Amino acid sequence: MNKNIIAGVATLAIALLGGCNNAKSPDSVAKDVESAQQKASTEVANTEKDAAKDVGSAAEKVDSKLTDLNNTAAKDAYKITLAQADGDHKVALAKCDALSGDAQKNCKQQADADYDAVKANAKATAVAEKQ
């Protein structure tokens, strides 16, 4: 009896561990990608809307604070770039779910690397524009 229980538990453990990094169905991936794209578009639109408000507020004070306007515009451009990068990253990760095993792992690593590179470039651009 104990052998049957141990064998059953071992089989269950192997089945559960075997489920890691398995490819999702194409329909599931398509839904995930579409959802990530919609969220990304909404995030970018909201960030652009907020940026327009920020720039509009700063523009009212142009005479005395031209430097503030430039810094605000640079900051908002940075925010928009990050919002777009976040969305692109989420879409890329969702697409990686169509893969399995090492291919999925490599896909996610590449998506993370691309995201980090965009963030670093956006930060460098923002710093350069403020000076």
- What letters, b where the CB count within 10 A reaches 16 and e where it falls short, cover 95-106? bbbbbeeeebee
pLDDT for 8 beyond 60? no
Q: Decide which of 18 and 90 is more confident.
A: 90
Quote the pLDDT of residue 116. Answer: 95
User: Which phi and psi (to 5°) does residue 68 adopt?
Assistant: -60, -40
Please give the average per-residue pLDDT across 65-75, as a whole number.
75
pLDDT band at residue 76, thresholds of 50, 70 and 90? confident
pTM: 0.60
Supply 87's token pair.
Answer: 């969305």
